[in-house]
Structure formats: C-alpha cells, structure tokens
Amino acid sequence: MYSVVIVRVLQSFPEGRTTTNPYLLQLSRSLSPHVEVLGFTWRRALTSRYDVFHVHWPEILLQGRTPVRALARRMLFRLFLMRLRLHRTAVVRTLHNVRSHELSPRHDQRLLKRFDQRTTLWIRLNPFTPVPADALEHTIPHGDYRDWFYDVTSGVAAPGRLLYFGLIRPYKGVDTLVHAFRQLDTGALADPLPTLRIVGAPQSSDLAERLQLTAAGDPRIELVLRHASDAELADAIHSAELVVLPYAEMHNSGAALLALSLDRAVLVPENAVTTALANEVGTDWVLTYTGPLCAAVLADALVRARRPRSAPSPDLSHRRWSVGAAAHVEAYGRAVQSVRSR
C-alpha cells in the first residue's frame, strides 16, 4: 500500500448527466468515501487544484458538435496539457479498449499522442490489454452492476427470446446478428419459436436505416432504436433467455457484465478475454463461439442456454466495487508517488 494521501481526483466525465455510463457513476460513488471526486468541466480542469486527473476516453475531450466547437476544444486541450505539465499533476488513464473506436483527425491524433506521453499510470480492466513499454500499470477488473440494479425486481425470461442491447456501432456486429437470425431454421428448434429484440441507440441515422432494412418483413424481430432507461433495460434483459453480443472486436464489455449482473447468460465471440471471463464467472453463463456469427451458432447457443446451470447466479465476487475502489486509490497513490519522486 502506498502512503501518499490523495485528496482530490478530477474525473474526465461531467457530473449530473442521466446518460453517463453507469460504470463511471459507480466508480465515482465507490471512490467518494476515500477521496474527493470532482466532475469534469474545462474551468475546473484549468483552474482548480487536484492531485490526479483520471481519464477514460481522452478523445471525447476533443470532440465538438460543430467545427468551431471542435477548434475551441483543441485550444482548451493544449492549455490543459500545459497545466498538467506545469503543476506536475499525476495522470491516470483507464484503457477500456485496445484502441479507440472513434476515427480522430490527424491533428487530434497528435494531441492524443502528447497526452499519452503525459500519462503517469495505466489502468487496464483485464491482464490482456497492452500498455506502453516500461509504463506503470495497475489491473483492476471491471465492476459489476448488481448494486446499480439492486431495487429492480427480477423478471421471467420469455422462452426463445434473444436480446442485443447497448449503443449500436458498426464494430458491434448488430446487422450481422439480424442477418444470422433471419436465416435461423425454426423448424429445427423446439417450441417456442425464437424471437430477437434489439434495444439501443444507433450511432448514426444511416446505421439505423440499414438495420431497419435488414429486419424488414420479419415479425420475429423487434427494433427499439433509442436510448433505454435503466428500468427499460433491466426489463429487456430479464425478458431475454440469452443476450447476444456479436462484437467484431470484443475486449472489455460492460454490457456482458450488466447482463451477468442480472443473471442472464451471454453469447460472445471466443478470445482470450472472453475465455477468461467464462472461467471466472462460469462457463455455463458465458457462452462463446468461433468463426463468424451464423444461424447455426445461434441455434446451438439457445440449446446450451437451456441446460441446467451449476450455480443459480454467475460468480461476480471479484467484481465488487468496494474492492475496485480500494484498488483505484492504490493506483492513484502509485501515480502521485511516481510524479513526486521524479
């Protein structure tokens, strides 16, 4: 344990937004008994006193809805880099993905590279995430969502219901899922016939139109293409027999942990990360597949999902937020000590 006392931590996300990722909100709440957590504003970032800046997706700090706003963000970001250097502030970054899924302009990439060079310590959510050579790192597993949905009444799964939920982006393979489901030979499956529900906001109107065209004419497919409230999301997950997350690039998935937190099995592509997750929480809760997603994979997954499980709930004991909060405080201490010792 590190003896450095951390007083203030500036997080990279603002306070008070209903659409803020629950992972970030749970992190903030779990840290509050141990450190003072500040929500992000540019004024606070440039003028307030804090010991650590903890960033999650730094590219978001550069994004603006208009070209003028994007230019203003870049100017603020440059000032912020200067402030971090002059005050010798410890920078901690959580690596949620192997790489950003946002295509940034070249001048933004240069700024992000400079920010990476200012980063003191890297937090990874699993031991398979690469970090820069010789960098300080701390592995802290992604926390669960059981406390977040503690007051939600468990529902009964609709037999045959497949569900995808979450933000719909091209790399998440939702159109592939719809196409595979349409090819499903329902005659080969026992009653009831399977249905598919897609719940989430598409990243673009073009993506929404493409999904609607892919699903058109199949009454077994229901599209709810918008942001869902927590209550709606919990109801959709409880109503599903199996959650399908067919990401083309599956690394860390908050959606998988959310489904598992509500005691629903998930189907995910097989790789080192998902195999480790299955071994951790139970292989009958995390079902994996190899190769492209197709109708045969879906049919086999439904059969596997209906088999008796070895435990009534997945084992998420290593994902408790009390454990994660203590690990974050330790990581902050390491980062501050590293900066002060230079």
Give how far Cα 22 sits from Cα of 142, 254, 262, 279, Å.
Answer: 12, 9, 14, 25
Q: What are the φ and ψ backbone dihedral angles of 8, each rounded to 5 degrees?
A: -130, 135
Confidence of residue 191 (pLDDT cuts 50, 70, 90): low
More confident residue, 251 or 138: 138
DSSP assignment, residue 142? Answer: P
Q: Which helix (H) or strand (E) holds 90?
A: strand 90-95
Neighbours of 298 (CB within 10 A): 24
Q: Is the pTM of this model over 0.85?
A: yes
DSSP sequence for 214-253: HHTT-TTEEEE-SPPPHHHHHHHHHT-SEEE---SS-S--
Q: Going by CATH, does the domain composed of 8-143+320-340 fall within 3.40.50.2000?
A: yes
Residue 55 makes CB contacts below 8 A (sequence gap 6+) with 12, 61, 91, 92, 93, 94, 115
What value does the mean pLDDT take over residues 177-204? 85
**What is the separation of C-alpha 79 from the centre of its chain, rounded to a whole number of angstroms?**
29
Report the distance separating Cα 184 and Cα 123, nearest Å. Answer: 41
- Work out the angle at residue 86's Cα, subtended by the Cα atoms of residues 80 and 88, and round it to the nearest 5 degrees: 95
Q: In the chain, list all ranges with CATH 3.40.50.2000.
A: 8-143+320-340, 161-317
Residue 318: which pLDDT band, with cuts at 50, 70 and 90? Answer: very high
What is the mean predicted confidence (pLDDT) over 205-218?
94
Residue 169 has pLDDT above 70, yes or no: yes
> 113, 76, 138: which is closest to 338 by C-alpha?
138
Record the tokens describing residue 186, joined without a space: 């329902």
Q: pLDDT exceeding 70 applies to what percent of the chain?
A: 94
State the Rg of the chain over Cα: 21
- The tens digit of pLDDT for each residue in 1-17 reads 555 667 899 999 998 77
Phi and psi at 268, nearest 5°, equal: -140, 160
Which amino acid is it at 180? A
- Average pLDDT value for residue range 174-194: 82
Taking the C-alpha atoms of residue 39 and residue 28, their distance in angstroms, rounded to an integer, is 9
Query: Which superfamily does CATH assign the domain made up of 161-317 to?
Result: Glycogen Phosphorylase B; (3.40.50.2000)
* pLDDT of amino acid 185: 73
3-class SS of residue 284: coil
Measure the CA–CA gap between 290 and 268, rounded to whole angstroms: 9
| Residue 150: pLDDT over 90 | no
User: How many angstroms separate the CA atoms of 113 and 108, rounded?
Assistant: 9
Residue type, 325: A
